[in-house]
Amino acid sequence: MTDLALAKATASPARRFSPALPGIGLLLVVAYGILPLVANEYLFDAILTPFLALALAGLGLNILTGYAGQVSLGSSAFMAVGAYAAYNLALRLPGVPFMIDILLAGVVAAAVGLLFGLPSLRLRGFYLAVSTLAAQFFVQWVFNKVGWFSNNSPSGIVSVPTLSVVGITLDSSAGRYLFALTVVTAVTLAVWRLVESPTGRALVALRDHETAARVIGIPVLRVKLLAFAVSSFIIGVAGVLWAFAYLRTVEPAGFNLDRSFQILFIVIIGGLASLRGAFLGAALIVVFPLLLARLGEALLGGLFDSGVLEMSQRIVLGLLIVTFLITEPAGLTALLDRAWNRIAGRFRRTGLPITG
Amino acid sequence: MPRPNSRTLSVKAALLGALLGTAALLPGAAQADEQYFPLQSYRVGPYAAGGTGFFGGFIDYLTLVNNRDGGVNGVKLTWDECETQYEVERGVECYKRQKNRPGVAAWNPLSVGIAYAMIDDVGRDRVPLITVNHGRTDSTDGRVFKYVFPLLLNPYSESSGIVNYIGAREGGLETLKGKKIVVLYHGSPYGKETIPIYQLLAEKYGFSVEQVEVPHPGNEQQSQWLSIRRTKPDYVVLRGWGVMNPVALKTAQKVGFPADRIIGNVWSNSEEDVIPAGDAAKGYTAITTQASGAEYPVLQEITKTVYGAGKGNLDDKKRIGSVYHNLGIVNGILNVEAVRIAQEKFGKRTLTGDEVRWGFEHLRLDPKRVEALGAKGLFHSINVSVANHEGEGRVTFQQWDGAKWKVVSDWIAPDWALLRPIIERSSLAYAAEHGIQVRDPAAEEASN
């Protein structure tokens, strides 16, 4: 982690491809104004909404792992906590508006995260990763074991109530997408504020050198726990989106270790300690396998059965990720920065105006 | 500085373009007079043995109908597969993609998780969702779940069928009084689903029941079987899944519990469950809705014309007539007959999903019709109606002789009347929660 940070600091590009306000504005115009007009149900339900939920989970984990340097393998447990908390709040407190449910679900996830963050006060690195695994297994076990959480549903799989905010029912795919988009935008802006604040810098200081951080007066224990709480809160909210906006059903098996790894990969592939990283990583993890699957099917579908195709896609995907991480260990964000700098540099040399 | 944005935009546009490009590469729209079966299959992952058998059988039957009859009344049957690996989000992605092809007849995911995620969507898209032998128990109530069909058997009927079989074997249900039954269940939502039903049946027939959990995946059962040995039950019901089944049979042998006193449920009844247990499985008996074996006329035809022409779907011909393969074939028969019945009402053309739903709601195949379809002995009969989407499937029991399954019982009827009130309580609660208008079966039948 420290080496990576060092490499990042020294190789900091001259012109960072940084999220400036107009850029975000334009993205939002596309996401809110144009996509709902042009996208179809497939794009919403199979790509955009899961992308948003996973990007948010990646953002949450990035605070913990990317910024604060604490490795966690329990992300999907916190998603599960958020999802089940929101389900039970909606079920048992029917009068409470759903926006409040989401916040409360996040708070519940944060509390659980705090609890499992306690070992981080004594453990580091791989040891901490292993202790967060405990969260992963424990949470899944509890939701399996205690029927109350799934309202004693005989099959243990529950259908969530229809999404409805301030009296508007959002059960169309576009409605659920817009809901997820709004939540993700709000949380992302809040996180942006956080990482730019002194607290955010304290997180980075903690990651780069714990002892040094302590020496310059950063309350290390408190900052660590804060990182766990904030991260779990965000991942919990992502879990709510996953359950309510995307799948519309909750089952413990859906939040297994594979999902935790998926979120970790999103952060690593996208770029540690970068807001865009989570989104780029999620885009790659969600969209790329689908593209590969469709392409494989279109080209070779007649020759092999779907099992063979699926296996070969995994090999291709794995190879691509390895190749890609060798070329750019700092993730997609760094790749994008570099590409942008090269383009900008070429423009500069040819003397063409580069600002518009 | 708008450039960064335009850069992101173009990345997005490129992705979108690539996506649309690949979408255009997909097989073209169905022509007139085709009925399309989207298959969310799983040939990869932990459940591949079930997936390849079931979807293989389904495809084999559709191939047979196309080759032998030129489709259903001239309407060709088409299908394509989308790999789910039994994962819910992959199943959803498949649904959203495959539904765009016209002429969808019905969905058959063979996964409870995926089926749950589709319940809202099939209602909105008005296409039937078939969960043969499994699924959400309360979707048996078609008054609430208009588009969901847990055909032949739901988990509650399965439990009742097993108890009825044990009763018959002991010489009548009244002899169950004072008997001791242990239910050994998989530690998952699926495994726990029937706990209240076995309680209810125990109260009704006066036997004592003890339900013992085996934590997933179930490759260590020493303590459970030692406690079973202490309890000395008359029967053990095995409600297992995957590796838990052979391990249960082996451990039973180790502690000296006879295999012929172990009764397996529908997910513990396949060749894949007993072959790894070797000798320990000899005498083990399990429930099924469809007998195994390749001696039935429809299987003979599939072996001869489909596999003979090299068009069979199974890689290993030895699996023809295995439990999952036959379930796929029976599922194919039920789907095709629903289409045929709906065609009689709506015309011999490509039907809409809602018309096929009508076909399923009138799917009545008596033993005579089943015989005409070449499936006598393979499965008994089905009698679906607006109110009853399960269709009163009968069950039979097969004993493993070390090499193959042998039918050892008649076709047994579960106690539907006992279970119906519990199902209705749950379905009506669902209707209230989701604001669903409960249908009036009598009025619908009259208007048809």
Concatenating the DSSP letter of every residue in B225-274 gives: HHHHHHH--SEEEEE--TTHHHHHHHHHHHHT--GGGEEE-GGG-SHHHH
Which tens digit of pLDDT belongs to each residue from A101-122? 999 999 999 999 999 999 888 8
pLDDT (tens digit, 9 = 90+) per residue, A290-321? Answer: 888 888 778 876 677 777 777 887 888 788 87
Whether residue A202 has pLDDT greater than 90: yes
Structure tokens at A296: 């494989």
Residue B144 to residue B431: CA distance in whole angstroms: 6
Question: What would the two tokens of residue A313 be?
Answer: 């896609």
User: How close A124 comes to chain B (CA, Å)?
Assistant: 30
| In the predicted structure, residue B104 carries a pLDDT above the cut 80 | yes
- Mean pLDDT over B92-108 rounds to 94
> CATH 3.40.50.2300 in chain B, residues?
30-153+293-383+423-447, 155-288+398-414
Chain B residue closest in CA terms to A258 = B87
What pLDDT, on the 0 to 100 scale, is given for residue A349? Answer: 66
Residues B376-394 as b/e (b if ≥16 CB within 10 A, e otherwise) read ebbbbbbebbbbbbbbbbb
Query: In the structure, what pLDDT confidence band is assigned to residue B27 with cuts at 50, 70 and 90?
Result: very low
CB–CB contact B88 A309 (8 Å): no
Q: What is the CATH number of domain B30-153+293-383+423-447?
A: 3.40.50.2300
Is B44 part of the contact surface with chain A (CB cutoff 8 Å)?
A: yes
How far CA B444 is from CA of B53, B144, B362, B392, B422, in Å, comes to 37, 13, 12, 20, 24
Interface test with A, best of B43, B82, B195 (most A CBs within 10 A): B43
- How would residue B137 be classed by pLDDT, with cut points 50, 70 and 90? very high
Closest CA to A347 of A339, A175, A25, A334: A339
B159 neighbors A154 (Cβ within 8 angstroms): no
Asked whether residue A348 carries a pLDDT value surpassing 80, the answer given is no
Mean pLDDT of B47-56: 91
Contact between chains at B96 and A161 (C-beta distance less than 8 A): no
CB B266 within 8 A of CB B289: yes
Check CB contact under 8 Å for B116 and A159. yes
Residues A49, A242: contact at Cβ < 8 Å? no
B residues 168..227 contacting A (CB < 8 A): 187-190, 192-193, 196
Give the pLDDT score at B241. Answer: 87
With contacts defined as CB-CB under 8 Å, which chain A residues touch B92?
45-46, 246-247
A16, two tokens:
């960072």
Contacts 24+ apart (CB under 8 A), B16-25: B18/A291, B19/A43, B19/A47, B19/A287, B19/A290, B19/A291, B19/A294, B22/A291, B22/A294, B22/A295, B22/A298, B23/A294, B25/A294, B25/A295, B25/A298, B25/A299
Beta bridge partners of residue B235, listed in sequence order: B181
DSSP-H helix ranges across B281-373: 297-301, 323-346, 353-361, 367-372
Written as six digits, the tokens of B1 are 């500085």
Closest Cα to residue B353, out of B28, B101, B65?
B101
Rounded (5°) CA angle B361-B362-B364 = 120
Query: Which pLDDT belongs to residue A351?
Result: 55
Instruction: With cut-offs at 50, 70 and 90, classify the pLDDT of residue B85.
Output: confident
Mutant choice from A21, A42, A315 vs B, greatest count of B C-beta within 10 A:
A42
Mean pLDDT of chain A: 86
Residue of B272, B248, B371 whose CA lies nearest to B322: B272
Which position has the higher pLDDT, A167 or A222?
A222
Q: Are A250 and A84 in contact (CB under 8 A)?
A: yes
Place of tokens 């303590």: B223
Cβ contact (<8 Å) for B137 and A162? no
**Domain map of chain A by residue range?**
2-350
**Interface touch A46/B190, C-beta < 8 Å:** no
φ and ψ at residue B61, rounded to 5 degrees: -70, -40
Contact B25 A247 (CB under 8 A): no
pLDDT at B328 over 60: yes
Contacts of B41 in chain A (CB under 8 A): 306
- Is the link from the previous residue into B217 a cis peptide, with omega within 30 of 0? yes
* Residue type (1 letter), A40: N
Does B19 contact A41 at a Cβ distance shorter than 8 Å? no
Q: Note the pLDDT of residue B32.
A: 60
In 3-state terms, what secondary structure has residue B39?
strand
Residues of chain B found within 8 Å of residue A147, distances taken between Cβ atoms = 192
CA distance A119 to A202: 20
Contact B274, B323 (CB under 8 A): no
Neighbours of A300 (CB within 10 A): 12
Bridge partners, B104 (sequence order)? B36
Q: Do A157 and B116 touch (CB under 8 A)?
A: yes
The CA distance from A171 to the nearest CA of chain B, in Å, is 9
So what's the pLDDT on residue A107? 97
Asked if A307 and B193 come within 8 Å (Cβ–Cβ), the reply is: no
Q: What value does the mean pLDDT of chain B take?
A: 90
Check B189 against A162: CB less than 8 A apart.
Answer: no
Give the chain B residue nearest A41 (alpha carbons).
Answer: B96
For residues A289 and A282, the answer to whether their CB atoms sit within 8 Å is: no
Burial B53-81 (b: 16+ CB within 10 A, else e): bbbbbbbbbbbbbbeeeebbeebbbbbbb
Pairwise CA distance, residues A267 & A57, whole Å: 9
* pLDDT exceeds 70 at position A193: yes
Band of pLDDT at residue A18, cut at 50, 70 and 90? low
Beta carbons within 10 angstroms of residue B12's beta carbon = 15
Interchain CB distance below 8 Å, B43 and A249:
no
Can you say how many angstroms the Cα of residue A185 is from the centroid of all Cα atoms in its chain?
13
In chain B, the residue whose alpha carbon lies closest to the alpha carbon of A292 is B22
Contact across the interface for A354 and B19, Cβ inside 8 Å: no
pLDDT band per the 50, 70, 90 thresholds, residue B20: very low
pLDDT of the residue at A164 = 83
Write out the H or E segment, with its range, that includes residue B79. Answer: strand B76-81
How far does B8 lie from chain A, in Å, by closest CA?
Answer: 8
Note the pLDDT of residue A355.
45
Q: Tell me: domain B155-288+398-414, CATH 3.40.50.1580, correct?
A: no
Measured CA to CA in angstroms, residue B188 lies from A142, A228, B96, B194, B221 at distances of 11, 30, 28, 11, 16
pLDDT of residue A112: 96
How far CA B203 is from CA of B170, B197, B208, B261, in Å, comes to 18, 10, 8, 21
Q: Are B155 and B386 in contact (CB under 8 A)?
A: no
Contact A295 B12 (CB under 8 A): no
Closest-CA residue to A66 (of A323, A270, A215, A257): A270
- Bigger pLDDT: B206 vs B27: B206
pLDDT above 90 covers a percentage of chain A that reads 48
Amino acid A337: pLDDT: 85
- pLDDT of amino acid B391: 95
pLDDT at residue B284, rounded to an integer:
97
pLDDT at site B24 = 43
Residue B338 CA from chain centroid, whole number: 16
Q: Which of A145, A177, A305, A342 to mutate to test the interface with B (most CBs of B within 10 A)?
A: A305
Asked whether the beta carbons of residue A154 and residue B2 sit closer than 8 angstroms, the reply is no
**pLDDT score for B297:** 97
By Cβ distance, the residue of A22, A157, A251 closest to B5 is: A22
Helix axis angle, A220-240 to A75-92, nearest 10°: 60
Q: What is the C-alpha separation between B112 and B88, in angstroms, rounded? A: 9
Average pLDDT rounded to a whole number, residues B191-209: 94
**Distance (Å) from the alpha carbon of B382 to chain A's nearest alpha carbon:** 24
How many CA atoms are closer than 13 Å to the CA of B379, on its beta-carbon side?
Answer: 33
Select the more confidently predicted residue: B447 or A4.
B447
Percentages (nearest 5) of helix, strand, coil residues in chain A: 75, 0, 20
The predicted structure's pLDDT at residue B229: 94
- To test the contact with chain A by mutation, choose from B19, B79, B94, B125 the residue with the greatest count of A C-beta atoms within 10 A, namely B19
Give the Cα separation of A341 and B7 in Å (integer). 12
- Looking at chain B from residue 419 to 448, which residues have their Cβ under 8 Å from any Cβ of chain A? 426, 430, 433-434
Q: What percentage of chain B exceeds 90 in pLDDT?
A: 80
Q: d(Cα B407, Cα B391) in Å, to the nearest integer? A: 22
Please judge whether B116 and A287 are an interchain contact, meaning their C-beta atoms are less than 8 angstroms apart: no
Task: Return the pLDDT at B141.
Answer: 96
Classify strands B396-400 and B148-149 as parallel, antiparallel or unpaired: unpaired
| B352 Cα to chain A: minimum distance (Å) | 19
Contact B1 A355 (CB under 8 A): yes
Give the residue from B39, B60, B96 with the most A CB atoms within 10 Å of its CB, the best one to mutate: B96
- Strands B285-288 and B262-264, bridge-based pairing: parallel
Token pair listed for A89: 């709040």
- The answer to whether the CB atoms of B120 and A18 lie below 8 A apart is no
Q: How far apart are CA B122 and CA B360, in angstroms?
A: 14
Q: If you classify domain A2-350 with CATH, what class do you get?
A: mainly alpha
Tell me how far CA of residue B407 lies from CA of A44, B246, B314, B370, in angstroms.
49, 20, 24, 18
* Banded pLDDT at B45 (limits 50, 70, 90): confident
Identity of the residue in A27, A46, A340 whose CB atom sits nearest the CB atom of B93:
A46
Does residue A354 have a pLDDT over 80? no
Q: Contacts of residue A348 in chain B, CB cutoff 8 Å?
A: none
At residue A338, does pLDDT exceed 80? yes
Confirm whether the ipTM is greater than 0.85.
no
Task: Specify the pLDDT at position B280.
Answer: 96
- C-alpha A64/C-alpha A58 separation (Å) is 10
Reported as a pLDDT band with limits 50, 70 and 90, residue A339 is confident
Residue B352, helix vs strand vs coil: coil
Query: How many whole angstroms separate alpha carbon B56 and alpha carbon B49?
Result: 11
B98 vs B38: CA distance, rounded Å? 6
Least confident of A79-93, B26-40, B358-372: B26-40
* Euclidean distance between CA atoms B192 and A156, whole angstroms: 8
Q: Which residues contact A256 (CB under 8 A, 6 or more apart)?
A: A76, A136, A140
Q: How far is CA A244 from CA A106, A229, B208, in A?
A: 14, 22, 42
- Residue B319's pLDDT is 94
Report chain B residues whose CB lies below 8 A from the CB of A290: 19, 93
Contact A236, A81 (CB under 8 A): yes
- So what's the pLDDT on residue A3? 47
Mean pLDDT computed over A147-153: 85
Give the three-class secondary structure for A232: helix
What is the token pair recorded at A11? 């190789």
Give the distance, in angstroms, between the CA of residue A212 and the centroid of all CA atoms in the same chain.
29
